[in-house]
Structure 1
Amino acid sequence: MKSFIKIHKQDNVLLALRDIQKGERLHADGVSVEVKDDIKRGHKIALQPIKENDSIIKYGFPIGHASQDISIGEHIHVHNTKTNLSDIQSYSYTPRFDENPYSNENRTFKGFRREN
């Protein structure tokens, strides 16, 4: 089983697929990364140096920014990152449901109609 995954080619983090011990070496993108901290499965590891206020890139998009300098192999989590949504004070989910413009009359399908 692989130890980590880099989800998108632009990511500057690796995602641990298992618990990884401090001192283990990971090889990604031609770089040998020595893990600086014990990393729990599902957590992120810096693949390159990330300066304070630089973006943390996962899925090819910024998911936050560094609250301090982060070195290669360091654990990336709430202790050294901040969300980019800090200016949003509140959020309200207000979906808009439009009327269905399609009638169910005279609709067919290729299949068998069951009694239930």
Structure 2
Amino acid sequence: MKDCLMIKPQDNVGIALRELQTGETISVGERTIVIKEPILKGHKFALKDIVENEDVIKYGFPIGHATEMIQTGEWVHTKNVKTNLGGVEEYSYKPKFTENRYQKEPLTFKGFKRKNGKT
């Protein structure tokens, strides 16, 4: 079983596929990484040193930036990463209802109403 997953070659974080222990050595592609702290299954860890304000790359795209230095093998989480999104965007839900072009006949109920009004 693989220890971790690197989704895209340009990613600087990996995803633990099992719980990783402090001091454990794992291989990620051509790299060998020593885990610096416990990493829970499904959590991110640094594949290389990520300096403060550097983008954290997952899926080949920035998912945030480091708020402090993150060393190779350290847990990458909300305490050391902040989103790149800024400000508040206005949004309002305005659905447009249209006819169902797949419905050829009006809907009917093949049954009867009871005396109490239930079907």
Residue type matched to 1:46 in 2? A
Deviation readout 1:22-59 (Å, 9 max, x if unpaired): 00111113111000011111111100111111111111
Give percent identity, aligned residues only. 40
Q: In the alignment, does 2:34 pair up with 1:64?
A: no
Secondary structure of the residue aligned to 1:65 is strand
1:96-111 pair list within 5 angstroms: 96-100=95-99, 102-105=101-104
Report the TM-score when normalising by structure 1: 0.79
SS of residue matched to 1:40: coil
How many residues are treated as equivalent by the alignment? 105
Q: Which runs of 5+ in 2 are unaligned?
A: 106-119
Q: How does 1:1-20 map to 2 (within 5 A)?
A: 1-20=1-20
- The residue identity in structure 1 corresponding to 2:103 is N
Q: Which runs of 5+ in 1 are unaligned?
A: 107-116
> CA 1:95/1:37 → structure 2, altered by over 3 Å: closer, same or farther?
farther
Evaluate the alpha carbon distance shift between residue 55 and residue 93 of structure 1 in structure 2; reply closer, same or farther with a 3 A threshold.
farther
8 Å contact from structure 2 (residues 4, 28) kept in 1: no
Specify the alignment match of 1:112 in structure 2: none
Q: Using the alignment, how far apart are the partners of 1:91 and 1:3 within structure 2? A: 42
Quote how far apart the aligned CAs of 1:2 are. Answer: 1.6
Deviation of 1:102 after TM superposition, in Å, equals 2.8
Which of 1 and 2 has greater Rg? 2
